[in-house]
Each structure stands twice: as C-alpha cells, then as structure tokens.
C-alpha cells in the first residue's frame, strides 16, 4: 500500500469523534505531565513538606489516577463518554487550580499550614477521581470510532499523542515555573482542562455503540475478585509493579537530586521528559529490532535495560549522564511496553480477555502507591541523613534487576508447569 493510500485509509477509517477524543487526550496529558514534572519540588520546596510527606501525597494522587479507571470505565460505559469527559475535565480544571492555590499568597487564608496536608489530600483525591475517567473514555472512543482496518493505527496514534503530551507538558511547566512561578503550572493545567471541557461540549459526539453496556459497579467489584483468584495473573502484575516503582522515581528522586546536588536553576522538568522524546523518535526502530522476541522475553529484556539506567546515573550523576540514563530507560520501556498488552491477552482465560485488559493499569497504580512512599524515604535516608545519594541509584538498579530475575523465574515456572500438564 502506497503512502497516499495509507493517508486515505487514515482519513476515511475514523469517525470525527476519534480525532476530538485524541486531541483532548493530548491536552490532558500535557496538563498531567506538566504538573507531575514539578509535583515533588512544588510540595517540598514551595509548600515545605518533607520528602516523606511529599512521597505520600504523590502516591495518593497518582496511585488513584491509575487505579480508579477500573471503576470509572464501567461508569463511562453506563452513562456515555460525553458525560464522562465533561465530568472529568470539569473536576480536573477545578482540582488543578485548587492544588496551585495552596501555594498562592492570595489564598493562604483558605489553607492554614497546620491543616494543609489533610486539605491537600482531599483536593488530590478529588482531582484523581476526575482524571480517572479520561483513559477509559478515550480508549473506548478509539475502539468505537475506528474501522477494523484502522484500529491498530488508531491505538498507535493514541500512544504517540500520549508521549507527545509527556514531552511537551514538562517543557511548558519549565517555562511557566521560570517566568511566572511554580504554583502557576497548575493554573496552566487547569486552563488546558477547561478548554477541553468546552471542546467536549461543542465538538464531541457520542460514538455509535453496537452494545449499550449494562455493567454495574457491583459487577466490576465482583470481577475484581474474579481476577484476584487467578494466581498466575496476580503474580505477573505484582512483579511488573516493580518496573513502575522504578519508573516513577524519575518524577520523585531525579528532581530532588538535580535541585539539591547539581543546580537549583536546572530545568529538571525538561530533563525528566527526555524519555518521552526518546520514545517519539526511537519507538519504530526498537519495535523493528525486537518484533521477533516472544512477549515475555521482550518484557524481561526491557526490565534489564531500564535497570541499567540507574547504574549509569550512579557512576557519574551529572546532567548529561542523567539524560543518557533516562534515554536508556526509555529504550527499556519501548522494548517491553507494546508486548505487555499482548502477553496479557495470551494470559487471559477464554472469554476473559477484556476483563484482564481492564486491569492492565494496576501495576502502574501499585507502582505509584508504593513508589512515592519508597522514593521519599530513600531520598531522606540516603541523600539527606547520610549524604550518600548514589546509594539510591544502586537500590533502584537492584529493584530493576530483581524485577527482571523474578520475571525470568516466573516464566520458567510457568513453562515447567505447562510442559508437565
């Protein structure tokens, strides 16, 4: 098929709501990754929380963002994607503004210092509830507005726009922090979501659905316990969570280290986004090089490559080396990420493929729930208390190696049991 035929297929293979939903996802990811890039520094340096409390707050917010879609997806199916998008962007725009307001002098009377942790926790939970509706609504729209011939291209476009948002958001956050103030990054995120609320109301049309979902929240909870009974799947998800525990330290420990040990004026937001840029430019090459690997081999290899990132940084933690290490991490991500969903599809029992894919975000949530707390504790224990920050990178390298080894053992046991059976 020629390039012109490919372009024609793309143009005719999607309904208009496909493009609207994906553009909204782009701006939502710009808002999310922009505030994520500065979250740890905002909480510690601007709001004066300790590293441990910073980790706790980050864990609460980002853990819920990735855990709640299990339930939000059922509600989005039940009430429609347009209502889900509208609710999500309304809550996100209010929530992001309130997070930023906690650091603004004009609103200081509303957020007394002695109650700030509790108030901010409530605001973060509120914001996460809104954010949890985005991914199931976008992915649901992609599924219903793509033709069978363009569905794979549709998911590829979605993944590309997510990474563009992950690259552009931190860059905008750096500009806003540098020229206006770190708390105003949240105002920009709020404005981005408010614009998407207007876009939803004006441009988004509910896609046609072959089946109206009658799945209730009660059924979703029941399905959760159904999945928990599959010991093999749960072990796989728990091991995979170690990868995400490593990943989220890019947004917890790296900003702390850069501002404390290298330069307070360094553009840490841009540095933490180099992985997203790496994926944008290298994904096709890495996919071509690894396409013949079995999914589990690609996953184990990706874990190992990502772990090497921390070893590189530990040897000489300067800005150029940190950038090089994060690019290596992104290569690890590119190696395993596309094969992850393929492996889950193969792992799911007959008739439960959709159910299992619904829990694919659980390792990301688990990684955040524990990663923020562990990252905050590691930084305080080794960077602040003992002034040996390089030990942190050694620990993270060890977590990555443990993830690869455990996944190798897991695969060996599964193979052995399959042969025996």
In whole angstroms, what is the distance from residue 201 CA to residue 298 CA?
Answer: 42
Q: Which residues contact 249 (CB under 8 A, 6 or more apart)?
A: 371, 375, 396
Domain boundaries, the chain: 12-205, 224-421
User: What is the rounded average pLDDT of the residues 133-151?
Assistant: 84
Share the mean pLDDT of the chain. 89
- Other C-beta atoms closer than 10 Å to the C-beta of 420 total 6
Q: How confident is the model at residue 350 (pLDDT cuts 50, 70, 90)?
A: low
Query: Is the domain covering 12-205 a CATH 3.40.50.1360 domain?
Result: no
Complete DSSP assignment for 54-74: HHHHHHHHHHHHHHTHHHHHH
Instruction: Quickly list DSSP for 186-231.
Output: HHHHHHHHHHHHHHHHHH--PPP-SS-----HHHHHHHHHHHHT-H
Q: Provide the pLDDT confidence category of residue 15 given band limits of 50, 70 and 90.
A: confident
pLDDT band at 1 (very low <50, low <70, confident <90, very high): very low
End-to-end C-alpha distance for the chain, whole angstroms: 44
Please compute the mean of the pLDDT values over residues 288-317 and round it to a whole number: 92
Q: Are 254 and 272 in contact (CB under 8 A)?
A: yes
Query: Same CATH fold, 224-421 and 12-205?
Result: yes
Residue that has been written with the tokens 């990663």 in this structure:
371
In this predicted structure, what is the pLDDT of residue 271?
95
Q: Which pLDDT does position 188 carry in this prediction?
A: 97
Residue 131's closest CA among 61, 56, 59?
61
Which CA distances in Å does 282 have to 6, 48, 276, 334?
Answer: 21, 39, 10, 8
Interhelix angle for 51-67 vs 16-41, to 10°? 160
Distances (CA, A) of 419 to 281, 295, 412, 413, 414: 41, 19, 11, 10, 9
Mean pLDDT for the stretch of residues 7-22: 78
Structure confidence by residue, pLDDT tens digits, 378-419: 999 999 999 999 999 999 999 999 999 999 999 998 877 766
Query: Which CATH fold would you assign to the domain 224-421?
Result: Growth Hormone; Chain: A; (1.20.1250)
Q: Which of 115-129, 212-226, 407-421 has the lowest mean pLDDT?
A: 212-226
pTM of the predicted model over 0.95: no
Whether 142 shows a pLDDT value over 80: the answer reads yes
């Amino acid at each position: 098929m020629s390039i012109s035929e490919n372009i024609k297929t793309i143009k005719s293979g999607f309904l208009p709501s496909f493009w609207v939903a994906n553009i909204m996802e782009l701006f939502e990811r710009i808002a999310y990754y922009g505030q994520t890039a500065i979250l740890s520094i905002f909480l510690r340096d601007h709001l004066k929380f300790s590293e441990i409390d910073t980790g706790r707050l980050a864990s609460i917010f980002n853990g819920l963002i990735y855990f709640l879609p299990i339930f939000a997806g059922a509600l989005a199916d039940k009430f429609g994607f347009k209502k889900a998008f509208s609710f999500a962007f309304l809550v996100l725009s209010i929530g992001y503004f309130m997070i930023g307001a906690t650091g603004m002098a004009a609103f200081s009377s509303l957020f007394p210092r002695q109650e700030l942790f509790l108030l901010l926790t409530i605001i973060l939970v509120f914001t996460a509830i809104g954010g949890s509706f985005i991914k199931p609504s976008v992915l649901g729209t992609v599924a219903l507005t793509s033709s069978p011939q363009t569905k794979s291209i549709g998911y590829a476009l979605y993944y590309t726009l997510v990474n563009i948002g992950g690259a552009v958001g931190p860059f905008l956050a750096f500009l806003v922090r540098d020229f206006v103030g770190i708390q105003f990054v949240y105002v920009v995120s709020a404005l981005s979501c408010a614009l998407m609320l207007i876009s939803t109301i004006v441009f988004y049309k509910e896609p046609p659905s072959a089946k109206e979902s009658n799945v209730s929240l009660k059924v979703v909870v029941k399905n959760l316990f159904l999945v928990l009974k599959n010991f093999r799947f749960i072990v796989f998800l728990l091991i995979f969570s170690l990868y995400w525990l490593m990943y989220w330290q890019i947004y917890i420990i790296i900003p702390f280290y850069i501002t404390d040990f290298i330069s307070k004026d360094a553009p840490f937001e841009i540095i933490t986004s180099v992985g997203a840029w790496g994926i944008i430019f290298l994904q096709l090459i890495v996919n071509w090089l690894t396409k013949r690997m079995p999914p589990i081999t690609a996953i184990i290899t990706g874990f190992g490559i990502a772990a090497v990132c921390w070893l590189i940084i530990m040897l000489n933690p300067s800005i150029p080396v940190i950038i090089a290490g994060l690019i290596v991490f992104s290569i690890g991500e590119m190696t395993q990420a596309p094969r992850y969903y393929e492996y889950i599809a193969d792992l799911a029992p007959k008739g439960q493929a959709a159910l299992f894919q619904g829990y694919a975000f659980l390792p990301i949530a688990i990684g955040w729930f524990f990663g923020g707390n562990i990252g905050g504790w590691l930084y305080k224990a080794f960077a602040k208390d003992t002034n040996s920050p390089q030990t942190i990178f050694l620990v993270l390298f060890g977590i990555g190696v443990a993830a690869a080894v455990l996944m190798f053992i897991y695969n060996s046991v599964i193979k052995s049991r399959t042969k025996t059976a």
